[in-house]
Amino acid sequence: MALLESITVYPIKSLDGISLPECPIISRGALAWDRRLAITNQSGELLNGKHDPAIQRVRATYDLANESVTLSFEDGSPRTFGILGDRSDLEKWLGEVLNDQIIVYENPEGGFPDDPESSGPTILSIATLEQVAKWFDISTAEAARRFRANLIVSDVAPFWEDQLYGESGPKAFRIGDVNFVGTNPCQRCVVPTRDSITGAVTPRFAKEFQTKREETLPGWAPRSRFDHFYRLAVNTLPPEESIGKTIRVGDVVTI
Protein backbone atom coordinates (compact mmCIF):
# COMPACT_ATOMS: atom_id res chain seq x y z
CA MET A 1 0.00 0.00 0.00
CA ALA A 2 1.48 3.33 -1.08
CA LEU A 3 1.76 5.79 1.81
CA LEU A 4 2.73 9.44 1.97
CA GLU A 5 6.06 9.25 3.79
CA SER A 6 6.93 12.95 3.99
CA ILE A 7 5.89 16.46 2.97
CA THR A 8 8.56 19.08 2.31
CA VAL A 9 7.99 22.70 1.34
CA TYR A 10 10.60 25.25 0.30
CA PRO A 11 9.39 28.62 1.64
CA ILE A 12 12.21 30.53 -0.09
CA LYS A 13 12.75 29.19 -3.57
CA SER A 14 16.22 27.60 -4.03
CA LEU A 15 16.98 27.41 -0.29
CA ASP A 16 16.54 24.46 2.09
CA GLY A 17 13.13 22.99 2.75
CA ILE A 18 11.20 22.18 5.89
CA SER A 19 9.32 18.94 6.58
CA LEU A 20 5.71 19.23 7.75
CA PRO A 21 3.30 16.66 9.21
CA GLU A 22 0.45 18.06 7.13
CA CYS A 23 -0.12 20.80 4.59
CA PRO A 24 -3.13 22.42 2.91
CA ILE A 25 -3.53 22.90 -0.83
CA ILE A 26 -3.84 26.59 -1.72
CA SER A 27 -4.59 28.56 -4.90
CA ARG A 28 -3.17 27.23 -8.17
CA GLY A 29 -2.86 23.82 -6.50
CA ALA A 30 0.33 24.64 -4.61
CA LEU A 31 1.24 23.54 -1.11
CA ALA A 32 0.97 26.31 1.47
CA TRP A 33 4.35 28.04 1.92
CA ASP A 34 6.00 26.21 -0.99
CA ARG A 35 8.18 28.61 -3.01
CA ARG A 36 6.20 31.48 -1.49
CA LEU A 37 9.23 33.76 -1.72
CA ALA A 38 11.87 34.08 -4.43
CA ILE A 39 15.28 35.72 -4.54
CA THR A 40 15.80 38.10 -7.45
CA ASN A 41 18.28 40.72 -8.57
CA GLN A 42 17.41 44.38 -9.17
CA SER A 43 16.18 43.50 -12.68
CA GLY A 44 13.69 41.01 -11.28
CA GLU A 45 15.59 37.98 -12.59
CA LEU A 46 15.38 34.91 -10.37
CA LEU A 47 18.60 33.99 -8.61
CA ASN A 48 18.66 30.26 -7.97
CA GLY A 49 20.92 27.24 -7.98
CA LYS A 50 20.71 27.01 -11.76
CA HIS A 51 22.54 30.31 -12.16
CA ASP A 52 24.45 30.82 -8.90
CA PRO A 53 25.93 27.77 -7.12
CA ALA A 54 26.70 29.97 -4.08
CA ILE A 55 23.02 29.77 -3.15
CA GLN A 56 23.54 26.07 -2.41
CA ARG A 57 25.98 27.03 0.37
CA VAL A 58 23.30 29.05 2.19
CA ARG A 59 21.67 27.01 4.97
CA ALA A 60 18.12 27.80 6.05
CA THR A 61 15.91 26.67 8.93
CA TYR A 62 12.37 27.97 9.37
CA ASP A 63 9.97 28.88 12.15
CA LEU A 64 6.80 29.23 10.11
CA ALA A 65 4.64 29.92 13.16
CA ASN A 66 6.69 33.07 13.72
CA GLU A 67 7.20 33.73 9.99
CA SER A 68 10.98 33.69 10.28
CA VAL A 69 14.03 32.04 8.76
CA THR A 70 17.50 31.51 10.24
CA LEU A 71 20.28 31.64 7.65
CA SER A 72 23.98 30.90 7.68
CA PHE A 73 26.66 30.89 4.98
CA GLU A 74 29.62 28.55 5.27
CA ASP A 75 31.32 29.30 8.63
CA GLY A 76 29.47 32.54 9.37
CA SER A 77 27.22 33.07 12.35
CA PRO A 78 23.51 32.33 11.82
CA ARG A 79 21.09 35.25 11.51
CA THR A 80 17.33 35.20 11.94
CA PHE A 81 15.05 37.30 9.73
CA GLY A 82 11.34 37.87 9.28
CA ILE A 83 10.16 36.60 5.91
CA LEU A 84 6.87 38.48 5.66
CA GLY A 85 6.54 42.26 5.88
CA ASP A 86 9.77 44.26 5.88
CA ARG A 87 12.52 42.09 4.36
CA SER A 88 15.22 44.76 4.00
CA ASP A 89 17.60 43.11 6.50
CA LEU A 90 17.13 39.74 4.80
CA GLU A 91 17.81 41.28 1.40
CA LYS A 92 20.94 43.05 2.68
CA TRP A 93 22.34 39.83 4.17
CA LEU A 94 21.65 37.80 1.02
CA GLY A 95 23.17 40.57 -1.08
CA GLU A 96 26.38 40.40 0.92
CA VAL A 97 26.80 36.62 0.68
CA LEU A 98 25.70 36.40 -2.97
CA ASN A 99 27.55 39.54 -4.04
CA ASP A 100 24.53 41.05 -5.76
CA GLN A 101 21.72 43.50 -5.14
CA ILE A 102 18.84 41.41 -3.90
CA ILE A 103 15.06 41.78 -3.76
CA VAL A 104 12.97 39.02 -2.17
CA TYR A 105 9.49 38.89 -3.66
CA GLU A 106 6.46 37.18 -2.16
CA ASN A 107 3.56 35.51 -3.94
CA PRO A 108 1.09 34.10 -1.39
CA GLU A 109 -1.21 32.98 -4.22
CA GLY A 110 0.62 29.86 -5.34
CA GLY A 111 4.25 30.90 -5.00
CA PHE A 112 6.89 30.67 -7.73
CA PRO A 113 6.68 27.13 -9.14
CA ASP A 114 9.31 25.78 -11.53
CA ASP A 115 6.54 24.68 -13.92
CA PRO A 116 3.76 27.31 -14.04
CA GLU A 117 1.57 24.94 -16.08
CA SER A 118 1.79 22.23 -13.39
CA SER A 119 2.02 24.26 -10.21
CA GLY A 120 1.13 21.51 -7.75
CA PRO A 121 3.63 19.57 -5.62
CA THR A 122 6.19 17.24 -7.17
CA ILE A 123 6.00 13.59 -6.08
CA LEU A 124 8.62 10.84 -5.91
CA SER A 125 9.08 7.52 -4.11
CA ILE A 126 11.68 6.77 -1.46
CA ALA A 127 12.60 3.62 -3.42
CA THR A 128 13.44 5.78 -6.43
CA LEU A 129 15.70 7.98 -4.32
CA GLU A 130 17.42 4.87 -2.92
CA GLN A 131 18.03 3.62 -6.46
CA VAL A 132 19.47 6.93 -7.66
CA ALA A 133 21.64 7.15 -4.53
CA LYS A 134 23.19 3.78 -5.44
CA TRP A 135 23.97 4.98 -8.96
CA PHE A 136 26.13 7.81 -7.62
CA ASP A 137 27.30 6.40 -4.28
CA ILE A 138 25.54 9.11 -2.28
CA SER A 139 23.11 8.88 0.63
CA THR A 140 19.36 8.70 0.12
CA ALA A 141 19.07 11.96 2.07
CA GLU A 142 21.52 13.62 -0.32
CA ALA A 143 19.54 12.35 -3.32
CA ALA A 144 16.38 13.81 -1.76
CA ARG A 145 18.06 17.19 -1.25
CA ARG A 146 19.31 17.25 -4.84
CA PHE A 147 15.94 16.47 -6.42
CA ARG A 148 13.85 18.56 -4.00
CA ALA A 149 10.53 16.74 -4.39
CA ASN A 150 7.66 17.93 -2.20
CA LEU A 151 6.02 14.58 -1.58
CA ILE A 152 7.79 11.28 -0.90
CA VAL A 153 5.88 7.99 -1.11
CA SER A 154 6.88 4.76 0.69
CA ASP A 155 6.01 1.05 0.38
CA VAL A 156 6.28 1.07 -3.43
CA ALA A 157 8.78 -0.05 -6.07
CA PRO A 158 11.45 2.20 -7.61
CA PHE A 159 9.98 4.58 -10.19
CA TRP A 160 6.43 3.81 -9.01
CA GLU A 161 5.61 7.49 -9.61
CA ASP A 162 5.94 6.95 -13.38
CA GLN A 163 2.44 5.50 -13.20
CA LEU A 164 1.04 8.92 -12.28
CA TYR A 165 0.85 10.29 -15.85
CA GLY A 166 -0.62 8.73 -18.95
CA GLU A 167 0.59 7.89 -22.43
CA SER A 168 -1.19 10.87 -23.92
CA GLY A 169 -1.70 13.20 -20.97
CA PRO A 170 -2.63 13.65 -17.30
CA LYS A 171 -3.75 10.92 -14.93
CA ALA A 172 -5.81 11.14 -11.72
CA PHE A 173 -4.69 9.90 -8.31
CA ARG A 174 -5.54 10.60 -4.67
CA ILE A 175 -3.65 11.29 -1.46
CA GLY A 176 -6.02 10.59 1.42
CA ASP A 177 -9.25 12.28 0.32
CA VAL A 178 -7.51 14.89 -1.86
CA ASN A 179 -7.61 14.56 -5.65
CA PHE A 180 -4.52 15.20 -7.78
CA VAL A 181 -3.62 15.00 -11.44
CA GLY A 182 -0.16 13.84 -12.50
CA THR A 183 0.88 15.74 -15.62
CA ASN A 184 4.39 14.79 -16.76
CA PRO A 185 7.79 13.49 -15.68
CA CYS A 186 9.74 16.41 -14.28
CA GLN A 187 12.57 17.78 -16.39
CA ARG A 188 15.65 18.39 -14.27
CA CYS A 189 18.14 21.26 -14.31
CA VAL A 190 21.78 21.56 -13.33
CA VAL A 191 21.03 21.60 -9.57
CA PRO A 192 20.97 17.78 -9.03
CA THR A 193 24.44 17.54 -10.58
CA ARG A 194 25.91 19.37 -7.57
CA ASP A 195 26.47 18.44 -3.96
CA SER A 196 23.50 19.92 -2.08
CA ILE A 197 25.67 21.35 0.70
CA THR A 198 28.90 22.46 -0.99
CA GLY A 199 27.73 23.03 -4.56
CA ALA A 200 30.62 20.88 -5.86
CA VAL A 201 29.85 19.31 -9.24
CA THR A 202 29.53 15.52 -9.57
CA PRO A 203 31.34 14.76 -12.86
CA ARG A 204 29.21 13.36 -15.69
CA PHE A 205 26.14 13.28 -13.45
CA ALA A 206 23.54 14.28 -16.06
CA LYS A 207 24.94 11.97 -18.76
CA GLU A 208 25.22 8.96 -16.46
CA PHE A 209 21.81 9.69 -14.97
CA GLN A 210 20.19 9.64 -18.42
CA THR A 211 21.86 6.33 -19.29
CA LYS A 212 20.75 4.69 -16.05
CA ARG A 213 17.26 6.17 -16.26
CA GLU A 214 16.72 4.78 -19.74
CA GLU A 215 18.11 1.37 -18.78
CA THR A 216 15.82 1.09 -15.74
CA LEU A 217 12.68 2.71 -17.15
CA PRO A 218 9.84 0.45 -15.91
CA GLY A 219 7.29 -1.04 -18.25
CA TRP A 220 4.53 1.10 -16.75
CA ALA A 221 6.32 4.34 -17.74
CA PRO A 222 5.05 5.71 -21.08
CA ARG A 223 8.29 5.97 -23.07
CA SER A 224 6.61 8.46 -25.42
CA ARG A 225 6.63 11.02 -22.57
CA PHE A 226 10.45 11.06 -22.53
CA ASP A 227 12.03 13.24 -25.19
CA HIS A 228 15.15 12.75 -23.03
CA PHE A 229 15.81 10.80 -19.86
CA TYR A 230 17.05 13.56 -17.58
CA ARG A 231 13.66 13.48 -15.87
CA LEU A 232 12.73 12.39 -12.34
CA ALA A 233 9.67 12.91 -10.12
CA VAL A 234 6.21 13.82 -11.42
CA ASN A 235 4.67 17.26 -11.75
CA THR A 236 1.09 17.62 -10.58
CA LEU A 237 -1.85 19.97 -10.77
CA PRO A 238 -4.58 19.44 -8.14
CA PRO A 239 -8.05 20.24 -9.49
CA GLU A 240 -10.04 23.22 -8.18
CA GLU A 241 -12.06 20.95 -5.87
CA SER A 242 -8.88 20.08 -3.91
CA ILE A 243 -8.02 23.66 -2.96
CA GLY A 244 -8.51 24.15 0.79
CA LYS A 245 -8.11 20.45 1.58
CA THR A 246 -5.18 19.08 3.57
CA ILE A 247 -2.80 16.19 2.95
CA ARG A 248 -1.10 14.42 5.86
CA VAL A 249 1.90 12.17 6.38
CA GLY A 250 0.58 8.61 6.52
CA ASP A 251 -2.20 9.20 3.98
CA VAL A 252 -2.81 6.36 1.53
CA VAL A 253 -1.89 7.18 -2.08
CA THR A 254 -4.16 5.56 -4.69
CA ILE A 255 -4.22 5.66 -8.48
Cα separation, 149 vs 17, whole angstroms: 10
Handedness of CA 189, 194, 196, 197 (dihedral sign): negative
Q: What is the pTM of this model?
A: 0.96
> Can you tell me the mean pLDDT for 162-169?
93
Q: Give residue limits of the domains in the chain.
A: 3-30+113-254, 37-106
> Can you tell me the mean pLDDT for 103-107?
94
Confirm if 151 and 6 have CB atoms less than 8 A apart.
Answer: yes
* Cα→Cα distances 7→57, 61, 248, Å: 23, 15, 8
> Can you tell me the mean pLDDT for 132-160?
98
| pLDDT tens-digit series, residues 181-228 | 999 999 999 999 999 999 999 999 999 999 999 999 999 999 999 999
Pick from 189, 113, 192, 127: nearest CA to 162: 127
| pLDDT at residue 45, as a whole number | 84
Fold of the domain spanning 3-30+113-254:
M1 Pyruvate Kinase; Domain 3 (2.40.33)
Confirm if 183 and 170 have CB atoms less than 8 A apart.
Answer: yes
Helix (H) or strand (E) holding 28: none
| pLDDT at residue 117, as a whole number | 87
Ramachandran angles phi, psi of 82, nearest 5°? -75, 145
Cα separation, 63 vs 69, whole angstroms: 6
Confirm if 182 and 255 have CB atoms less than 8 A apart.
Answer: no
- Strand, helix or coil for residue 131: helix
